[in-house]
A and B are shown apart, each in its own frame.
Chain A
Amino acid sequence: QLQLQESGPGLVKPSETLSLTCTVSGGSTSSSSHYWGLIRQPPGKGLEWIGSVFYSGTTFYAPSLKSRVTMSVDKSKNQFSLKVTSVTAADTAVYYCASSNTLTGGFGYWGQGTLVTVSS
């Protein structure tokens, strides 16, 4: 059973960089059968896809965030990660790691989510 766990600071100052790591267990980030995603949810609002990364390192980002977002995969640690630069209060959200089967689609596995607050 694939499991994902988010880790990172819960508080980030405005204009700084938000960094988040997702650790995968029960599966491998080297596998071509899955791709990895980051989704966020501001308090009381809906879901927003941030980006996805494949085992090969190929990335896709939401157009609205593309200029500030970088995702990467570390196969040796079985992790993938997110960096968001120049954060503002609008980046305050619960951030979820998720996994999608490349054949079927849809994010079938999710982490529990981690709240990141942007505040001075």
Chain B
Amino acid sequence: EIVLTQSPGTLSLSPGERATLSCRASQSVSSYLAWYQQKPGQAPRLLIYGASSRATDIPDRFSGSGSGTDFTLTISRLEPEDFAVYYCQQYVTSPGLTFGGGTKVEIK
């Protein structure tokens, strides 16, 4: 099973600041990596697929980068609605999909 490790566990920032979230895979997943945002009581929302492609209607302040084992989600300037939990997920079909443990972006 491919393990995804997200860091930091919690990121305390102010609106307008830049957020940098990391996701590291235990073995290469090429570019088969997605990022999600989840707010309390809601289903996750797909932000990024293919490591760097924004999903439909996702603002351009969200960007993804990386390939192989190291990936980054960057939020260029935090808006109030961006404070949430973010998960990475790899989708190499075999041996199966996995999610990272999540990074909480909270208001400082």
Contacts and interface: CB of A to CB of B under 8 A. Distances in A.
Interface in A17-56: 37, 39, 46-49, 52
A112 interface: yes
Interface residues of A, number: 23
Interface stretch (A7-15, A58-66, A74-82, A84-92): A58-66
A52 B50 contact: no
Contacts of A106: 34, 36, 46, 48-50, 55, 89, 91
B50 A105 contact: yes
Contacts of B98: 49, 62
A111 interface: yes
Contact of A61 (B53, B56, B96): B96
B95 interface: yes
B96 A63 contact: yes
